[in-house]
Copies of this chain bind each other. A is one copy, B any other.
Amino acid sequence: MQKTIIAPVKFTHVQCGDCPIRHRAVCARCDSDELTSLEETKYYRSFEAGQTIVWSGDRMDFVGSVVTGIATLTQTMEDGRRQMVGLLLPSDFVGRPGRETAAYDVVATTDLVMCCFRKKPFEELMVQTPHVGQRLLEMTLDELDAAREWMLLLGRKTAREKIASLIAIIARRDASLKMQKSEGRVVVDLPLTREAMSEYLGLTLETVSRQISALRKDGIIEVEGKRHITIPDFDRLIEEAGDDSDGGFLV
């Protein structure tokens, strides 16, 4: 079912460049003895689009971070209603130190590579190396802010505003990673199916589709194929998103 790749040669150059645990939290400031012990437990795992990485309630004995691709955290009610509660892009952290079992389904929505550490050694490292904990605190606070922005979206925005917000969020994160802008026109490839979008936004798949069509008809976005979107005027999209002030620069 899942291909597990243990630190193959081809990933070597990735280890320092893309792994936030090492790169952001550790490399710069800590002595390397700690790192060596962590390094021993580090491994890479690949998943195919659509694969579930962990089921809610399952034992989860690793933490890690996304290297490439996109993963989601989703909650499910008994009758099958689903709500996405986390969208994980490259460099995002997965897993909660100090927790035995996963609280959410973790799903790869695109092909995905994760950098993982066994939880126990990672927790030991956290105790010994304050910077790791501090960096994790920062990241968690950022996620909390993102969750709160998301709550405003879920609780108070209209379907049209929700769609506009989601496109803006993805465009911004994309841009901050890859600088895809070209003089005002922003180009995004949606990494989510309509269904995943509906789970993000608390809508049905049909409403997502209708609202994307509506934004297209109104010239807010241009759609090529199903996923490729061009935003001719980003400010207009932001207006449609109904965001307050600096709105949604988080996550």
The stretch from A43-51, A143-151, A219-227 touching chain B is A143-151
Interchain CB contact under 8 A, A83 and B156: yes
A54 located at the interface, meaning its Cβ lies under 8 Å from any Cβ of chain B in the complex: no
Contact with B along A111-145 (1 / 0, CB 8 A): 00000000000000010001001101110110111
Instruction: Decide if A194 is an interface residue (CB 8 Å cutoff).
Output: no
Give the oligomeric copy count: 2
Once bound together, how far apart are the Cα atoms of A75 and B146, in whole Å?
13
B151 and A57 contact, CB distance less than 8 A: no
Q: How far is the CB of A136 from chain B (nearest CB, A)?
A: 6
- Contact partner, A133, options B77, B79, B133, B149, Cβ 8 Å: B133
Instruction: List chain A positions with a Cβ less than 8 A from chain B.
Output: 57, 73, 75-79, 81-83, 85-86, 96, 98, 103-104, 126, 130, 133-134, 136-138, 140-141, 143-145, 147-152, 154-156, 201-202, 242-245
